[in-house]
């Protein structure tokens, strides 16, 4: 049965998605201008169109109940993780992409992770309405909120006022990845077909929460990885 998401949680979550979308566009604009890419406009439009297509496609599929199949295996809802992860691997192995990453402020790559505080608030609001299982919130086993709370502090201590504390940033990124993978694993193990943890996690099969595994979580992981790539290469 499709859950009825509380308006506050839905609006807040859609706002997070819009923020991430705009953050990607802004970072791409800065990077393309920094390397003086000859096809600046075309690349920008392609990326924007690709993101809009992905978001719209997953939204339509969620509305049609495609992901709400809690019988077949592997769970269809897990398919939305595949495309972003494949894209991440391709970009991380691309030498040209490294040039773009180097144009982005290392401090910005840490500060942007602050959005994870709002994600955890959304999950907590859903838990209060008995939609999200407790183990996926900070009242359960999800401590990803620590990454969001610490992001502005670490960003300032590592790169504020001309500092260049790469070691602190590197350690923080690895800790952030560990926290993120913990909640992703918990969410997967809470899906009915796997059912290691209960209550079950079914709400992510519906819009707008399908964007959590399809867009929001992959973005957090992606930023960690490109931040580490930048820090290790400098």
134 half-sphere exposure, CB direction, 13 A CA radius: 4
pLDDT, residue 38, reads 79
b/e burial code for range 94-114 (CB count within 10 A of at least 16 → b): eeeeeebbbebebbbbbbbbb
pLDDT, residue 39, reads 81
Q: How confident is the model at residue 169 (pLDDT cuts 50, 70, 90)?
A: very high
pLDDT, residue 134, reads 96
Contacts of residue 151, Cβ cutoff 8 Å, sequence gap at least 6? 110, 111, 112, 113, 114, 116
pLDDT, residue 70, reads 92
pLDDT, residue 116, reads 98
pLDDT, residue 234, reads 66
User: What is the mean pLDDT of the segment spanning 15-43?
Assistant: 92
Share of the chain above pLDDT 90, in %: 85
Report the distance separating Cα 152 and Cα 159, nearest Å: 10
pLDDT > 80? residue 153: yes
Taking only the tens place, the pLDDT of each residue in 49-102 is 999 999 999 999 999 999 999 999 889 999 999 999 999 999 998 888 888 889
Q: Which of 205, 226, 211 is nearest to 17 (CA)?
A: 211
Residue listed under structure tokens 């398919």: 79
Taking only the tens place, the pLDDT of each residue in 179-224 is 999 999 999 999 999 989 999 999 999 999 999 999 999 999 999 9
Q: Does residue 37 come out as left (phi exceeding 0), alpha (psi in the -120 to 50 range) or beta?
A: beta
**Helix/strand number for the chain, H first, E second:** 10, 0
Report the distance separating Cα 159 and Cα 163, nearest Å: 5
Report the distance separating Cα 81 and Cα 62, nearest Å: 14
Q: How confident is the model at residue 47 (pLDDT cuts 50, 70, 90)?
A: very high
Could you tell me if 72 and 193 are in contact, meaning their C-beta atoms sit under 8 angstroms apart?
A: yes
Report the distance separating Cα 22 and Cα 4, nearest Å: 28
User: What is the mean pLDDT of the segment spanning 38-42?
Assistant: 84
């Amino acid at each position: 049965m499709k859950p009825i998401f509380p308006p506050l949680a839905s609006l807040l979550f859609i706002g997070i998605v819009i923020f991430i979308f705009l953050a990607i566009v802004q970072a791409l604009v800065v990077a393309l201008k920094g390397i003086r890419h000859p096809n600046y406009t075309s690349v920008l439009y392609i990326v924007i169109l690709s993101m809009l297509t992905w978001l719209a496609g997953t939204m339509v599929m969620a509305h049609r109940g495609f992901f709400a199949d809690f019988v077949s295996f592997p769970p269809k809802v897990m398919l939305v993780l595949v495309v972003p992860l494949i894209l991440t691997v391709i970009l991380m192995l691309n030498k040209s992409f490294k040039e773009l990453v180097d144009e982005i402020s290392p401090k910005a790559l840490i500060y942007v992770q602050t959005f994870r505080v709002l994600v955890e608030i959304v999950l907590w609001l859903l838990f209060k309405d008995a939609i999200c299982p407790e183990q996926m919130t900070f009242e359960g086993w999800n401590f990803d909120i620590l990454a969001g709370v610490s992001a502005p502090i670490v960003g300032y201590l590592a790169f504020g006022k001309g500092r260049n504390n790469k070691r602190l940033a590197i350690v923080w990124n690895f800790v952030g990845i560990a926290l993120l993978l913990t909640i992703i694993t918990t969410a997967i193990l809470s899906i009915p077909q796997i059912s290691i943890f209960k209550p079950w996690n079914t709400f992510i099969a519906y819009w707008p929460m399908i964007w959590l595994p399809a867009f929001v979580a992959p973005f957090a992981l992606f930023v960690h990885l490109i931040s580490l790539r930048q820090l290790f290469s400098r």
